[in-house]
Amino acid sequence: MKPLIIFKSRSNLYTKVMLLLILQLWYGKSNSQDGISDTSGNSRSIRLADSLNELCSSIWNSDRKLAMYYAEQALQIAEQSGYEKGRGVAIKNIGNINLFLGEYEKAIAGYLNALEIFRKLGDEKGIAGCNNNIGMVLERKGEYKEALEYYEKSLSFEMNTGNTEGAAQTFHNMGNVYYYLGDYSKCLEYFHRAADYFKKANNTEGRIKLLINLAAVYETMALIEKAISNNEEAIAESQKSGNTYLEASALHNLGSNYFEMGDFARSMDYFHRTLVLKDELGDKKGIAATLKIIGRIKNSLKKYDEAIDYYFQALKISEEMEDRRAVAETMTFIGENLEKKGLHPQAIEYFRQSLEITEEINARAEKLSNYQQLVIAFASMKEMDSAALFLKLHHALSDSLTGELSSELSAVQVHLNSGDKDRHPEIVLYRRALYFAGFVILLLIGLLVFKQNRVNRNKV
């Protein structure tokens, strides 16, 4: 039975980790990886830095703290041995972890630093990766135009180097941006291209991401049963592969599906499970999103005071992260809460603040929601001219957002349904190998430091 491909380009992770350990234990002169000549006897340090960087990327979706530790150790060893590529990869990895943790300024600083290193080395794959990840930060901050510009830069390098997996990730990210912009046809076009490339790269993680995001499109089109099916499959596959981040994302979206169906009890169960995982990962953006939708459930149950507490918790996190789309969406929900309480002028103020942000970032779905809420608020105040104005705006935008997307959705789904369902990861074996590898590598670091100190004393 063919094992599931858990991480990028790994056919047998257990064997690979054990091989890395053997390499670390092997002393002797050799050329380092990536064509860098070892002129100072540091080939072992270079291999050790590469191993730590690889371990970091292997676990950042399940253990952020340990991943950060590996990246920091890799950076230290790469700096000591003058291994520039290892230094660039370690800095980029630290940037990735900061991205996941919502530390966007730290992430951007790291990517720019790594980008400069890769440019000096002429490493086009590294350049593409940094541009893609800068785009991800900008996307999360709601700076969609700028995000697309960086994704385009990344894509040009990925196509030039034939990096199938990198191209798949970038096409996928561009699809996400068009989803947020409310251009669902364009979104599905890029998801379709991503599905092609993920299939070529045999990338299970990418396939799970697309399942989750297509489910979001299905929910937008009120095709809830299809959304549920995609999310349930994503949960099962992410659990098999040990990807906690994607499991949490799929659980959140499944909770959203049941919320849309009016099954609040089941919805709350999924959101509580989501919060546990997102808290373990330190996923602030994800925590804010889940708090926000729990607030919506409380609002639907007419528990308005409880609802607004959740909204303000979510708003605080989103403002700290400068996530403008999330801020706008939360302000709309706060306005809706105030509207339910009969506080129409206060509600209108929140809707207007939200609308101002959505117009700046061109988040059309959120803009549509504000138009709808403003119609209700002005009609409740018997200000019919204003209500009529926003009703007209709502109809115009609604017509531009809705289109016949079923055939495009089906085309993408076909690629995702062609995955090998019989592949199963030996996740327990993998975890044992990984943590054993981590222990031995830390031991090796100690031995290396001891050896270097002894050499330094002999030099004195």
Q: Packing angle between helix 204-220 and helix 184-201, nearest 10 degrees? A: 160
The closest of 293, 245, 204, 216 to 101, measured between CA atoms, is 245
Q: Are 53 and 457 in contact (CB under 8 A)?
A: no
Domain for residue 394, yes or no? yes
Q: Are 368 and 397 in contact (CB under 8 A)?
A: yes
Non-local CB neighbours of 37 within 8 Å, separated by 6+ positions: 31
Interval 298-312: pLDDT, tens:
999 999 999 999 999
CA separation for the pair 226, 182 (Å, rounded):
20
Domain containing 328: what range? 310-404
CA separation for the pair 68, 75 (Å, rounded):
10
- pLDDT tier, 377 (very low <50, low <70, confident <90, very high otherwise): very high
Q: What's residue 437's pLDDT?
A: 52
Q: Packing angle between helix 84-100 and helix 124-140, nearest 10 degrees? A: 20
CA separation for the pair 24, 265 (Å, rounded):
52
Total tally of structural domains belonging to the chain: 1
Q: What is the mean pLDDT of the chain?
A: 83
Element (H, E) at 431: helix 427-459
Q: Which range is most confident: 188-192, 249-253, 447-451?
A: 249-253
Q: Are 29 and 445 in contact (CB under 8 A)?
A: no
Domain for residue 133, yes or no? no
- pLDDT tier, 62 (very low <50, low <70, confident <90, very high otherwise): confident
Q: Which two tokens stand for residue 285?
A: 């953006």
SS3 at position 11: coil
Domain for residue 382, yes or no? yes
Domain for residue 257, yes or no? no
Interval 81-114: pLDDT, tens:
999 999 999 999 999 999 989 899 999 999 999 9
Q: Position of tokens 């943790």?
A: 101
Residue 10 has pLDDT above 60, yes or no: no
Domain for residue 338, yes or no? yes
Domain for residue 303, yes or no? no
Residue 220 has pLDDT above 90, yes or no: no
The closest of 186, 123, 187, 194 to 160, measured between CA atoms, is 123
Decide which of 398 and 275 is more confident: 275
Instruction: Name the CA radius of gyration of the chain, rounded.
Output: 24
Residue 288 has pLDDT above 80, yes or no: yes
Looking up residue 368, the CATH number of its domain turns out to be 1.25.40.10
Non-local CB neighbours of 332 within 8 Å, separated by 6+ positions: 350, 351, 354, 366, 369, 370, 373
Domain for residue 322, yes or no? yes
What number is the average pLDDT over the span 59-85? Answer: 92
DSSP state of 266: H
Residue 28 has pLDDT above 70, yes or no: no
Distances (CA, A) of 433 to 13, 426, 427, 439: 8, 11, 10, 10
Domain for residue 381, yes or no? yes
Q: What's residue 457's pLDDT?
A: 43
Q: What's residue 36's pLDDT?
A: 42
Start-to-end C-alpha separation, the chain: 58
